[in-house]
């Protein structure tokens, strides 16, 4: 392999480039990205806006000049790849600064184009101040607006990860926040009972939550909702979803899967074996069911980058599927999940049972402890773990991480009671909540 072109210079693309150089000191690597900032921690952007991260530059991992000097990789920002000639193995590149177009050949091509924020067609939306948060420039625009216009209130549309993180951070800097969500409950990847615990926390923190509705029309600072309620807001954060950037792949005749992502195999190859797809726009498969799955999160993108780079340099490490493991901080609560939730299990008509344990994160007599609820779904016949969720104060993430490891290693729900986990009063109990879930499942 002599020359590899990568489309996208953020999480997946930049990681793939770095991995390729690590495994092959001689291969030529060229990266193109239409934005102006490479390799930044997108997950940190809400916390820059909220003032938790004081230096916005700290979330930028590197820049083209440093990347070239350290890794001998050419990165061209503000360059958009607009076409792929698969037969000739060339891409057509548009320099967004100069307007120039040119061709670049490749032996292998990695697509890491990410996704774009969905902005619904809403009457009057152009009369209101509306922001999305998908890249570094979006973050800067929101931050600058808040600092110069000094708004007092806002509407966040969409109760997923970005919406909830923005609601928390905007509230923390003193804004009056209303969160509007179309579905009956927020965070659709969670079971309803877990979502309702988050809704209770939002109420305690004085975030006005309006579910079962959406923005129907706007007139400047007046936001008309579909349920007849009007809200006054100085600006809107639109976080209703992510659309995978697959236009380039579609034009090139690459297969788009059921989840609207670019379909890939276990090595992240598309239907053209010389073209790989990773990150938010790629579709792989579910580790539990084998069904098509797309997970637009950082950890899967980094793993996929490693798999593609390994395969290209002669080391065939297969992807074992996606679980969609994720964690969310919302004020004093942490919520985390992995695998299938109750709705997904029911939609797939799978037999399942559920065990739930509510207890302390660590010894109740120790001053620093909190209540956590751990909920695990499993197959009652095979005892295979199908998915899990946890919510509470401290220690939520480590419980889900143990469940992830158990699923990956093929452990059953019954095996959880036998795990010899860390114990000292500041950290757990002699019988950890993980063990308790296993004991409760055994009793069933």
For residue 245, what are its two tokens? Answer: 């950037």
Residue 259 sits in the same domain as residue 371: no
- Do 264 and 234 fall into the same domain? no
One domain for residues 112 and 123: no
The answer as to whether 320 is a domain residue is: no
Number of domains in the chain: 3
- Is 324 within the bounds of a domain? no
Catalytic residue of the set 43, 154, 390, 422: 43
Q: Look at residue 275 and tell me if it is in a domain.
A: yes
110 contacts 13 by C-beta, under 8 angstroms: yes
The domain boundary residue, chosen from 191, 223, 240: 240
Compute the radius of gyration of the chain from its Cα atoms.
23
Q: What is the pLDDT of residues 362-395, one digit of tens each?
A: 999 999 999 999 999 999 999 999 999 999 999 9
What is the arithmetic mean of pLDDT over 403-429? 97
Residues 303 and 206 in one domain: no
Residues 89 and 175 in one domain: no
Q: Are residues 290 and 351 in the same domain?
A: no
Out of 219, 240, 261, pick the residue that ends a domain.
Answer: 240
- Whether 154 and 225 map to the same domain: the answer is yes
Question: Considering the domain boundaries, does residue 432 fall inside one?
Answer: yes
Q: Do residues 330 and 166 make contact, with C-beta atoms less than 8 angstroms apart? A: no
377 and 438 together in one domain: yes
Please provide residue 289's backbone torsions phi and psi, each rounded to the nearest 5 degrees: -105, -20
> How high is the pLDDT of residue 444?
78
Per-residue model confidence as pLDDT tens digits over 248-267 = 999 999 999 999 999 999 99
Closest CA to 313 of 15, 26, 71: 26
Mean of all residue pLDDT scores within the chain: 96
The answer to whether residue 164 scores a pLDDT higher than 80 is yes
Residues 112 and 130 in one domain: no
pLDDT at 198: 97
Q: Are residues 105 and 247 in the same domain?
A: yes
Of 220, 240, 260, which closes a domain?
240
Domain that holds residue 391: 332-443
Beta strands in 12-144 (DSSP E): 28-33, 74-77, 79-85, 90-95, 101-105, 108-111, 115-117, 130-131
Kindly indicate the confidence band of residue 80, based on its pLDDT and cuts at 50, 70 and 90. Answer: very high
Active site residue 43: yes
Residues 86 and 128 in one domain: no
Domain assignment present for 327: no
Asked whether the predicted pLDDT for residue 105 surpasses 80, the reply is yes
112-121: pLDDT as tens digits: 999 999 999 9
CATH number of the domain bearing residue 359? 3.50.50.60
In-domain check, residue 100 = yes
Does residue 412 belong to any structural domain of this protein? yes
Residues 143, 233 within the same domain:
yes
What pLDDT, in 10s, does the model give residues 295-340?
A: 999 999 999 999 999 999 999 999 999 999 999 999 999 999 999 9
């Amino acid at each position: 392999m002599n020359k590899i072109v990568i489309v996208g210079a953020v999480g997946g693309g930049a990681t793939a480039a770095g991995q390729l150089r690590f495994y092959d000191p001689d291969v030529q690597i060229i990266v193109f990205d239409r934005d102006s900032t490479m390799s930044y921690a997108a997950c940190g952007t809400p916390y820059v806006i909220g003032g938790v991260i004081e230096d916005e530059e700290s979330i930028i991992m590197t820049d083209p000049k440093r990347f070239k000097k350290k890794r001998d990789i050419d990165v061209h920002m503000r360059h958009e790849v607009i076409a792929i000639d698969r037969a000739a193995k060339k891409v057509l590149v548009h320099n967004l600064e100069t307007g120039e177009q040119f061709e670049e050949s490749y032996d292998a091509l990695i697509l890491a184009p990410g996704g774009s924020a969905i902005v619904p067609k809403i009457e009057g939306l152009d009369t209101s101040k509306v922001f999305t948060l998908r890249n570094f420039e979006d973050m800067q625009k929101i931050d600058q607006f808040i600092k110069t216009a000094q708004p007092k209130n806002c509407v966040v549309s969409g109760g997923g990860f970005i919406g909830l993180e923005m609601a928390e951070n905007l509230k923390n800097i003193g804004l009056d926040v209303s969160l509007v969500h179309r579905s009956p409950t927020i965070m659709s990847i969670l079971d309803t009972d877990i979502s309702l615990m988050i809704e209770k926390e939002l109420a305690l923190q004085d975030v006005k939550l309006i579910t079962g509705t959406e923005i129907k029309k706007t007139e400047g600072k007046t936001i008309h909702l579909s349920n007849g309620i009007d809200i006054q807001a100085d600006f809107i954060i639109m976080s209703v979803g992510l659309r995978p950037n697959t236009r380039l792949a579609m034009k090139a005749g690459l297969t788009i899967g059921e989840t609207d992502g670019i379909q890939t195999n276990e090595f992240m190859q598309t239907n053209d074996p010389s073209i790989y797809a990773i990150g938010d726009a790629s579709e792989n498969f579910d580790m539990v069911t084998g069904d098509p799955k797309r997970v637009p999160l950082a950890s899967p993108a980094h793993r996929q980058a490693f798999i593609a780079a390994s395969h290209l340099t002669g080391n065939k490490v297969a992807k074992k599927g996606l679980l969609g493991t994720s964690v969310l901080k919302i004020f004093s609560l942490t919520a985390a999940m992995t695998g299938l939730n109750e709705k997904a299990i029911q939609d797939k008509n799978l037999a399942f049972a559920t065990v739930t344990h509510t207890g302390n994160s660590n010894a109740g007599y120790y001053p620093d402890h909190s209540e956590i609820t751990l909920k695990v779904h499993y197959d009652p016949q095979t005892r295979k773990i199908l998915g899990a969720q946890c919510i509470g104060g401290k220690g939520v993430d480590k419980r889900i991480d143990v469940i992830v490891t158990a699923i990956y290693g093929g452990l059953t729900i019954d095996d959880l009671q036998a795990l010899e986990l860390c114990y000292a009063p500041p950290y757990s109990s002699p019988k950890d909540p993980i063990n308790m879930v296993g004991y409760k499942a055994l009793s069933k």
